[in-house]
Amino acid sequence: MDNFLWGVAAGVLGVAALAFFAFTMFRRGPLTFQIDGFYTHVADGDVGPLIRDVQADVPDAAVCRLDDRMSCSIRDAVQCHNEAGRPDCDVLLLSGGGQWGAFGAGLFDTLSRNSGNELALGGVGVITGISTGSLQALMLMVALDPKQTPDMRSFALDRLVWGYAPERESDVVRRTGLIGVPLFGSAAGTRRLRQRIIEALMPGGDERLIEAIGQSSIEAFAGFVEAERGVFRYADIKELVKAAPTAAAAAEALAAATMASSAMPVFHQQLRVAGSDGEALALYDGGVRRSVFFDRAMAAVDREVREQMKGHALAKIAGGATQAAIAQDYEDTAPTVYVVRNGPTVRKRDAAFNTSSGPLKNGQRGYDLLVNESEIGAIAGLRLNNPYGRIMLTSADRYDTFPSDVGENFKDDEMFKPAFMARLRDLGRHKAERPEGPWWPLSRIEQV
| Count of CB atoms situated within 10 Å of the CB of 145 | 20
- How is 11-28 classified by DSSP, letter by letter? HHHHHHHHHHHHHHHH--
Element (H, E) at 440: strand 440-441
CA dihedral of residues 113, 116, 117, 120 (deg, nearest 10): -50
Between CA 233 and CA 215 the distance in angstroms is 23
Specify the DSSP class assigned to residue 300.
H
Between CA 79 and CA 378 the distance in angstroms is 25
Q: Number of helices (H) and strands (E), helices first, in the chain?
A: 16, 13
Between CA 43 and CA 333 the distance in angstroms is 28
Element (H, E) at 160: helix 150-163
Question: 285 an active-site residue?
Answer: yes
The dihedral region occupied by 92, where left means phi > 0, alpha psi between -120 and 50, and beta the remainder, is beta
The partner residues of 127 in beta bridges, in order of sequence, read 92, 220
- E strands, 244-389, are 271-274, 281-284, 337-341
Which listed residue (131, 186, 291, 395) is catalytic?
Answer: 131
- How is 40-60 classified by DSSP, letter by letter? GGEEEPP--HHHHHHTTT-TT
| H-helix segments, 381-417 | 382-385
Question: 413 an active-site residue?
Answer: no
Between CA 440 and CA 424 the distance in angstroms is 19
Element (H, E) at 257: helix 247-262
Q: Is the dihedral of CA 145, 148, 149, 155 positive or negative?
A: negative
| Count of CB atoms situated within 10 Å of the CB of 438 | 23
Which listed residue (109, 145, 285, 295) is catalytic?
Answer: 285
Between CA 200 and CA 205 the distance in angstroms is 10
* 275 and 256 Cβ atoms separated by less than 8 Å: no
* 320 and 372 Cβ atoms separated by less than 8 Å: no
Catalytic residue positions, numbered: 131, 285
